Structure 1
Amino acid sequence: MDLKKIQFVRDISNNDEVLSIFSITQATLAQARNGPYWRLELSDMTGSIGAKVWSPLAQQFPEIAAGQMLAVKGRASTYRDILDVNIEHMKILTPEDESELDMGDFVAAAERHPDDMYADLLALCSSVFTHAPWMTFVQSALDDEEISARFKNAIGAKNVHHAYLGGLLEHTLSVAELCMKLCDHYPELDRQVLLAGAIFHDIGKAWELSAGLVKDYTDEGRLIGHINIGLEKVEPYLAASGLSIELQMHFKHLILGHHGQREWGSPVLPATAEALVLHYADNIDAKLAQLRGLFSDFEDGDTGWTPYQNTLGRFIFKPKMTPPEPNALAEEVFGTTAVTHSPEAFSDTSTPSGTPTTGEE
């Protein structure tokens, strides 16, 4: 079998022949009436798909482990709206085989380079922080070589959203920018503590989750969790920052409360305006990233339903979009000519006295 990657997960449809190489991200041996079978998750840079290896073929592979590379021949089929691959022939690749592959075909990554996103995050900090202790805290933490290296390469989640290299940084930058836009609309918010909370709310995921071919929880992640890990990693810089005890406590509250509900793993409930804003900004960015992934295979203009989403508890519909062209009747009806607005057209470009700008206007 040709070792070149010739077919990607995103291109597989019902009843397609599957003939390509994938990384194994999950492998479970189960028992059926006619013998043991393997349940696999096959992945590449475009996503993941389930697969099954039935007996007698399964009996030829007493051990299969996540992280191995697999050459597959089979056929895709749909059962209860879930696309799966029935594997007919397969080969576990040797390290020598793997050395011939372009591993970039197998590890999904953010569209933007992490260095560019990190530069944007630092620029946002430069435009917002005016209180010297906040500057000291954030800059010293972000300058830490281990923190910055892990931050740039970490995944944002195991499966649901931003589950690719650079995903954590992409999510963090998006949440931070969204929080600053909300500060523009609600000037009573403490913009500086909110930005600090947005930057570090998920930093513990850089230690909680492993990246690369296998995306899973580390021992530290399972035993401690990213909220506690994150606070541990930044605590030395927080203590040395010169921030008042009250500001340190508020910052910690934002980190501890950003999941929003105890049943979602939040040690405390958000009890300040800034904590509520961070929770909702975090939640909406994660949900919309999840929906972008669900609709990634839709062509422009396509509408339709996704399969049932367990994490959302519902089917999701992609509706037809409103045409962007100006309405010729707008001037007659509203007394003005309709235009296509960008989001910036709706933002208040005025800055309340004493409130730093974010550079977003």
Structure 2
Amino acid sequence: MARYVGKKSQYIHSLVPGQPVDDIFILASANQAQSKNGPYWNITFQDSTGSIDGKIWSPKSLEYQDLESGQLARVRGFVENYRDKNQLKVDHMELLEATAPGIDLADFMPTSRIPPEELMEMIEDLITEHLKFKPWKSFCKKVLSDEEIRTRMLMAPGAKTVHHAYAGGLLEHTLQVARACMALCDVYPNLDRQTLLVGAIFHDLGKAWELSGGLTNDYTDEGRLLGHIQIGQDRLEPFLKRSRNLDDSFKLHLKHLITSHHGEHDFGSPVRPKTPEAFVLHFADNMDAKLNIIDQAYVDMDKKGQEWSPYMRFLERNVYRAPATPSHSKKNDEKPENQCLLPLKA
């Protein structure tokens, strides 16, 4: 395993077809496949700005026997365009030690644009603003002040690959879902604003244990065996038991919100929503996930000057960037900014 001295200078978000590459990346995934010309490696390379698929073709592929996700490597090759996507053709690759001089692990971990500590403060501001019922406020503060829970939430991703799949992604998604729920309470005032907010804040808590985060960001044994809905319920249960001033009916409603937030059995929900608040949480959760997927697609489209995305498997369609209506408060030549999304840090 080689040792590397130097500073990373080429980042995935800026790579263009035809560009030679000589830099370090993390192997987000690596698997062998077979072609008529012999075995080859399918690799997804990653850094803090995104990911790119790569290939090591035969006979060069025979030099690499044990490639695993999470390994760092110095990669030499060039970028080519394949089916409207950048792909890295590897000419040579050296595996590196993560502790080698010149390597900063922050270069390889995608992170939310807003620091996780600030996202947590925004969530706590929502608690201060909207939770007037003292048992609910006390419950939330005790959960979020737990050292293990807070530490895990600060760096947890929101998913493995599909949406918010970066450090701070869980808090970013949680904040956006909570904001959406509070906005809908203004439209539908009969909703139980306070229980809904608690459900929004903790609906994905289990993801902090379901996913490993870090350089590999894979499912943990607990995540594979239980899933984040059950894990979240298990982590909250001791706090609920100690909340003697909280009526059992409120506790039951919170559990239902968390258990049903995927909406349908086909989407992994143990039960379907059966209260107005559960419907709202499901729709807010689903909406934020899909808008984050589209927001990240727009980043790639803007780099290529495209109006249409490639086919997106998780949305089952292509997406279009429609021209934005000019604002009277902006100059006509200014590009309107999206104020509701928190895009991936470039």
* Counterpart in the other structure of 2:131: 129
8 Å CA contact 1:27, 1:40 repeated in 2: yes
Deviation at 1:116, TM superposition (A): 1.6
Shift in Å, 1:300: 9.5
Residue 302 of structure 1 and its aligned partner are, at CA, apart by: 5.2
The amino acid of 1:144's aligned partner reads D
Distance in 2, Cα, partners of 1:292 & 1:269:
28
Write out per-residue CA displacement over residues 250-287 of structure 1, whole angstroms, 9 at most, x where no aligned residue: 11110011111111100111111000100111111111
Is the CA contact (8 Å cut-off) linking 2:6 and 2:101 kept in structure 1? no
Deviation of the 1:94 alpha carbon: 3.2
Give yes or no for contact 2:116–2:168 (8 Å, CA) kept in 1.
yes
Match of 2:260 among 252, 257, 260: 257
User: 188, 191, 194: which one pairs with 2:193?
Assistant: 191
For the residues of structure 1 that align with 2:219 and 2:192, how far apart are their CA atoms?
34
Identity, % of aligned positions:
44
Checking the alignment, whether the CA contact within 8 Å between 2:211 and 2:220 is kept in structure 1 is: yes
Counterpart amino acid of residue 218 in structure 1: T
> Is this contact kept in 2: 1:118–1:152, CA < 8 A?
yes
Residue aligned with 1:271, SS = coil
Instruction: Tell me which of 314, 323, 337 is aligned to 1:320.
Output: 323
Q: 1:271 to 1:17 in 2, by over 3 A?
A: same
Instruction: Please state how far the C-alpha of 1:162 moved relative to its aligned partner.
Output: 0.9
Distance 1:104 1:326 in 2: 38
Tell me the CA shift for residue 131 of structure 1.
Answer: 1.8
CA distance 1:208–1:301, change in 2 (3 Å): closer
Aligned residue runs from structure 1 range 10-49, under 5 A = 10-49=13-52
Instruction: Say whether residues 1:109 and 2:95 are aligned partners.
Output: no
**1:154 corresponds to which letter in structure 2?**
A
Match of 2:12 in 1: 9
CA-CA distance at 1:189 after TM superposition: 0.3
Q: Which runs of 5+ in 2 are unaligned?
A: 331-335, 341-346
* Alignment correspondent of 1:359: none
Asked if structure 2 preserves the Cα contact closer than 8 Å seen for 1:301 and 1:321, the reply is no
Q: Tell me how far apart the structure 1 counterparts of residues 222 and 303 of structure 2 sit (CA, whole Å).
A: 42
Letter in structure 1 aligned against 2:11: F
* Per-residue CA distance 1:302-354 (angstroms, 9 max, x = gap): 55111110000001111111122379xxxxxxxxxxxx9x999xxxxxxxxxx
Query: Greater CA radius of gyration, 1 or 2?
Result: 1
- Match of residue 351 from structure 1: none
Alignment of 1:138-157 (within 5 A): 138-157=140-159
Letter in 2 for 1:208: E
Residue 325 of structure 2 aligns to a residue whose secondary structure is: coil
Name structure 1 gaps, 5 residues minimum.
328-339, 345-361
The alignment's C-alpha RMSD in Å is: 2.2
1:2: Cα distance to partner?
A: 6.9
**SS of structure 1 residue aligned to 2:299:** coil
Corresponding residue of 2:293: 290
- Counterparts of residues 1-361 of structure 1 (less than 5 Å): 3-95=6-98, 98-242=100-244, 243-299=246-302, 304-325=307-328
CA distance in 2, matches of 1:90, 1:300: 27
Give the aligned length: 330
Q: Is the 8 A contact 1:302 1:320 kept in 2?
A: no
SS in 1 for 2:160: coil
Structure 1 length as normaliser, TM-score?
Answer: 0.86
Structure 1 contact 41–49 (Cα < 8 Å) conserved: yes
2:136 and 2:175 map into 1 onto residues whose CA distance is: 18
Distance 1:311 1:343, change over 3 A: closer
